[in-house]
């Protein structure tokens, strides 16, 4: 009799996955203590938690993992070196939430153009505005998308409906029109009205946008960050906002998170903060994640190439 591979997964996904796990010995944990107890014995694990530190501790204890699955696209909080040494396959959530995050990014852009934040503040104060606080038109404007993976491509797709001229940056250009490489975008920053950041967080992308980049941008340009807070030098951003060197910033992500209540970024001029809600501003995330897991389980059983395998050396 063949021993069934041991798996550990949160009970939240059980209804969607259990019918496909008849050949697995699954522990469906309901708390971190249960996850920590079963982690060292699991061959397959799905340990996603909101508490990233606790999740990292549990994954570090999972020394027998052959496959770790995650709904998170960013893997910077995982013990990557350990997983690499163990020979663990890590499949992440790349692409799962690209469409809803892109929707959020476009919402942030529209909010910045029309300053819906100021309009809503006046509504709460029962003030009837006579003139609009935001008059920027996005039609025929120019956008730069830094990071042209699943999210970046979805942002470009949605912006096409607004007649925005899009230029995208990716690590390796593929010859597509308006797609440039890593060495080309900084010299062109002054061309764009909107700078979208959707690149992965790695050691190479830390403070990708800093004082020099802000100085090169139009003084009317807005930064829209739906990637990670670490990609932007926040001290440089604060200075740029205070000096009106740029038009403003719409930030779904900050560094750190949550942003401390006394952090000056909260009250910085022309700054919209949406508290890292873009990745959960959707209704079908778990259904998509479960469907991908089931598909990857078939590939895992058959020794085939799996979907969304993270590159440990690149960090995403």
- Cis bond before residue 228 (omega within 30° of 0): no
How large a percentage of the chain has pLDDT more than 70?
A: 99
Q: What pLDDT score was predicted for residue 173?
A: 79
Other C-beta atoms within 10 Å of 114: how many? 17
Q: Can you list the domains of the chain with their CATH numbers?
A: 6-96+283-302 (3.40.50.720), 98-280 (3.40.50.720)
**Is the CB of residue 157 less than 8 Å from the CB of residue 185?**
no
Nearest to 214 by CA among 228, 200, 202, 197: 197
Structure tokens at 202: 């790695």
Mean pLDDT (whole number) for 271-299: 91
Report in angstroms the alpha-carbon separations of 5 from 45, 90, 306: 11, 17, 18
**Is the CB of residue 228 less than 8 Å from the CB of residue 74?**
yes
Q: What pLDDT score was predicted for residue 281?
A: 63
Structure tokens at 215: 């100085």
The DSSP output letter for 209 is B
How large a percentage of the chain has pLDDT more than 90?
A: 89
Mean pLDDT (whole number) for 156-182: 93
Phi, psi of 280 (to 5 degrees): -115, 10
Note the pLDDT tens digit of each residue in 18-43.
999 999 999 999 999 999 999 999 99
Q: pTM for the full model?
A: 0.86
């Amino acid at each position: 009799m063949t021993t069934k591979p041991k798996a550990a997964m949160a009970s939240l996904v059980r209804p969607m996955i259990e019918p496909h796990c008849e050949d697995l010995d699954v522990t469906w944990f309901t708390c971190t203590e249960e996850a920590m107890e079963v982690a060292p014995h699991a061959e397959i694990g799905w340990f996603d938690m909101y508490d990233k530190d606790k999740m990292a501790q549990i994954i570090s204890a999972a020394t027998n993992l052959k496959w770790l699955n995650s709904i998170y696209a960013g893997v910077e909080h995982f013990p990557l070196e350990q997983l690499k040494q163990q020979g663990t396959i890590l499949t992440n959530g790349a692409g799962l939430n690209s469409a809803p995050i892109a929707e959020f990014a476009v919402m942030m852009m529209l909010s910045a153009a029309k300053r819906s934040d100021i309009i809503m503040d006046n509504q709460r104060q029962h003030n009837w505005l006579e003139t609009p606080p935001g008059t920027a038109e996005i039609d025929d404007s120019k956008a730069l998308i830094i990071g042209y993976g699943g999210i970046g491509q979805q942002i470009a797709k949605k912006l096409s409906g607004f007649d925005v001229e899009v230029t995208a940056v990716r690590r390796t250009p593929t010859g597509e029109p308006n797609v440039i490489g890593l060495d080309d975008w900084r010299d062109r920053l002054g061309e764009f009205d909107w700078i979208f950041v959707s690149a992965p967080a790695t050691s190479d992308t830390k403070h990708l946008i800093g004082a020099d980049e802000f100085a090169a941008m139009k003084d009317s340009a807005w930064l829209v960050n739906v990637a990670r807070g670490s990609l932007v030098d926040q001290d440089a951003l604060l200075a740029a906002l205070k000096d009106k060197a740029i038009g403003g910033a719409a930030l779904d992500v900050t560094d750190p998170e949550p942003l401390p209540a006394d952090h000056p970024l909260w009250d910085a001029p022309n700054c919209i903060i949406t508290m890292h809600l873009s990745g959960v501003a959707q209704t079908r995330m778990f259904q998509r994640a479960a469907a991908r897991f089931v598909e990857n389980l078939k590939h895992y059983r058959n020794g085939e190439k799996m979907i969304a395998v993270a590159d440990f050396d690149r960090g995403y």
